Chain A
């Protein structure tokens, strides 16, 4: 059962990822990205990370992507869709670069993971309780400091997006 699920999610993630970067209409791009995110969340469940999977859907699909869609609709970006895409050198160059990158990745993944240590012991599952325990003990400091980061970005977003100066 697990292999079937893995290949299903993987196929969905890759297909909708590709659709996202080739589709001209930004709304469809956003929707395809959401599909990718759901597929990735499914993979998290297969990897014993149910909490991360849930947060992933809530934060990404529920908040970040809604924000994207909201901005796309607010700005009414449909008119952009008929614009010509860049042809020629930069595009070819970037595709070549990406091909090289992918080749590198495949190369090192094939050679690099063969001798990874597999840690024995009781299986740890990333449940809410386990993650919460870690977040509020060992990782309390980064947890708290991100609150200041979020505060700054809220202030920043407000000053950037508001219409009039004070």
Chain B
């Protein structure tokens, strides 16, 4: 292509880049607004951020008419797969903005920069979901990392928060160094940065499989870090515990889902060939789906086993979210449309119940000032609504009917069984893990419903109407999707389609 065609391609691509442009514009608007607004009015920035997310949401919905295409000279893809994740990111970011408005932890901190960085983080997640070039993949991952480092440390005068931030930054920079080395080896093996070309070149030539294996393992360090998958999960519990709780809720959903989006797109395009309809085969020489299966099994087992001994609810949820990344990975290892579909469905379900659980943590934190399980004792008598809501979310996280979590797990297991006997062992591991998880989720339930509260605690706690509305907004879909899940299932099914070749 000659330069003028390339420039024309860049200009034409702008119209397919509207949601991201809106977010970029919002970042600038928020900075300026924060500068102009007086300190007592700075809460308005939260509404501005929310408005930006809503406008971007509408823009994403409009993109459904455009079909699949590659933009900016094959740097990004716009396809139903990416749009599905973009909707997930926008809605979860909106929930987190709403959570942040009421949060006591953040009171008195500068909020303008906070919402600016939240918007930037959302933009980074968008890029992760659609990147199709090694350069954009690298930049999008770092984009999300750098903004996450800052947000995790936002309560910098609190010791836990700043220490968590440092740990996060060092692990993040280290794992991105490992990933980059993997990327450079991959470039060396194929001579191109475009993942579609990498896919065709690797399929055509028998590249050195040992070098390719090392490259894949090193790159998994970067992806695994985003997913918080074993053995790159070390940062997660500390960061989840130390970061402001709304941010923790976002970390456990947004970057994790973005990691899945990137992992699925990258591995299926670059390291797999489509064999028959809806099923793929890993490229010859490197059986990466077995590798991922082992990672999935290790991730869920470690997450669940360590969660048992936790006494802090926030930390317990951190380990539980590690375990859930393991469950969701089960769909990826199958190398089939049905597996990806189950993962997509599960990620949305997981996002609803997990943000819900963290919302209860925020409410209780505001009321009691603690995150310890002991302080949840007798919560049902003191604050019935949060206790009941927590019950629903925990049922869903365990995977019990009639909640959304049950349907999500059902789809994953169904895909696994249909995938053939090769992965039955993984299904067995996952079932054992679900039983283990029942034990520690039940511990919270027991504390809330059956244990006697301490006498010195006040008899009843007033939950603010704002939180009541938010709790209901999350409980209702968690139950509703457990009873009538067809719309979400259809959407997920439609979104399995992603740009597979240019």
Contact = CB atoms under 8 A, between A and B. Distances in A.
B149 interface: yes
Nearest to B7: A137
Interface in A102-118: 104-105, 107-108, 111-113, 115-117
Contact of A148 (B24, B135, B188): B24
A151 interface: yes
A166 interface: yes
Interface residues of A, number: 31
Nearest to A117: B191
B24 A142 contact: no
A151 B143 CA distance: 11
B127 interface: yes
Contact of B117 (A113, A140, A142, A155): A155
A116 B72 CA distance: 30
Contacts of A133: 3
Interface in B26-76: 27, 31, 39, 72-73, 75-76
Contacts of A115: 208
Given A117-B191, A142-B135, A156 B6 contact: no
Contacts of A138: 6, 73
Interface residues of B, number: 45
Contacts of B142: 149
A112 B24 CA distance: 42
Contact of A111 (B31, B146, B210): B210
A92 B136 CA distance: 37
A89 interface: no
Interface stretch (B105-113, B223-231, B444-452, B488-496): B105-113
Interface in A122-150: 133, 137-142, 145-146, 148-149
B167 interface: no
A112 B113 contact: no
Nearest to B150: A156
A142 B75 contact: yes
A107 B211 CA distance: 9
Contacts of A145: 127, 136, 139, 143
A75 to B, nearest CB: 14
A141 B208 CA distance: 32
Contacts of A112: 188-189, 208, 210-211
Contacts of A149: 124, 139, 142-143, 146
B287 interface: no
B136 A141 contact: yes
7 contacts: A108-B214, A113-B188, A116-B188, A137-B6, A141-B75, A152-B117, A159-B110
Interface of B: 3, 6-7, 10, 13, 24, 27, 31, 39, 72-73, 75-76, 108-110, 113, 116-117, 120, 123-124, 127, 133, 135-136, 139, 142-143, 146-147, 149-150, 153-154, 156-157, 165, 188-189, 191, 208, 210-211, 214
